[in-house]
Amino acid sequence: MALGTVTRLQAYLDPLLFLAVAVYGLLLVLLDAFTFQLKTKDLLNRNMMSDKVFGKVWLKLNKRIATSQLETSLPALVASASGTILEVGPGSGSQLPRYDKSKITKIYGVEPNVDLHDALQKTVKQCGLSDIYTIVLCGAEDFQTLASYGIEKGSVDTILSVQVICSVPEPQKTVSGMYELLRPGGQMIIYEHVESHDAVSRIVQGIYNVVWPFPFGGCHLDRPTGKYLMKAGKWSRVELEPKKEEDDWSLFPRVVGRLTKAN
């Protein structure tokens, strides 16, 4: 069935709402600089500014995004996490209330944006996870720092990745490294937006990508994350949701589900 022009245009304009919030976040960061909460030299550090803006944006949007996820399979997937868990990019802790604590031994929350740590620590306490949750200040790609916490090859039972692979540098290398951290039989739970299969939508994703990464923590709209996962290693089970009709016009199609590492 041909997709209507109006439907496509509406979908293609949706990211503008997020960019409007990004402008709000940038203004807050500039206000911090004006009130001397941010050093002038920091304004010239692109990566630091990107983190600062994303921190403001995420704290503004995270509740709305978490609510929208209630209509998806994500809460049930998070509840299935067990054993030693590596949660990459927990942000302010939107997924924490969805864990089944009775199944969990330990959770490592790998969050590189220090501006989100206070909110994350608050959520950890609210969810009664303080005794088993450790915040790790690094990115998912920093395997040396992870190793210093005892997170090494074959040491993790579950990896939870929610809208993170879009942002990491060298995504294929990072995903392959994450695969190595899983023990045989361990699971990787995925909820990631990916490149569109539709040619026109991919072009629009590329246009937004000119400005999108800066306010959204390095996020790229058009990464082929499904391919990264398949190339990472051998999986005994791949339980990913089938492609939906609206994925053709959406700029945020997703790969969602669970992959189990082969023994």
pLDDT in tens, 56-114: 999 999 999 999 999 999 999 999 999 999 999 999 999 999 999 999 999 999 999 99
Q: How far apart, in whole angstroms, are the C-alpha atoms of residue 107 and residue 97? A: 13
Residue 1 has a pLDDT of 46
Residue 2 has a pLDDT of 53
* CB 215 within 8 Å of CB 57: yes
Report the candidate in 42, 154, 160, 156 with the shortest Cα–Cα distance to residue 99: 160
Residue 98 has a pLDDT of 98
Show the low-confidence residues of the chain (pLDDT under 50): 1
Greatest Cα pair distance, the chain, in angstroms, is 56
Residue 219 has a pLDDT of 96
Residues in Cβ contact with 46 at an 8 Å cutoff, skipping those fewer than 6 apart: 214
CATH classification for the domain delimited by 5-261, as one of 3.40.50.2000, 3.40.50.150, 3.40.50.300, 3.90.950.20: 3.40.50.150
Residue 54 has a pLDDT of 96
Q: How far apart, in whole angstroms, are the C-alpha atoms of residue 29 and residue 57? A: 10
Residue 4 has a pLDDT of 76
Residue 185 has a pLDDT of 98
Residue 116 has a pLDDT of 97
Beta strands at 182-193 and 254-261: parallel, antiparallel or unpaired: antiparallel
Residue 245 has a pLDDT of 74
Does the global pTM surpass 0.85?
yes
- In the chain, where does DSSP find H-type helix? 5-13, 15-34, 46-68, 74-79, 117-126, 143-148, 171-181, 199-208, 225-232
Structure tokens at 165: 């692979």
Domain locations in the chain as residue ranges: 5-261
Taking residue 149's Cβ as centre, other Cβ atoms within 10 Å add up to 15
Q: How far apart, in whole angstroms, are the C-alpha atoms of residue 118 and residue 129? A: 15
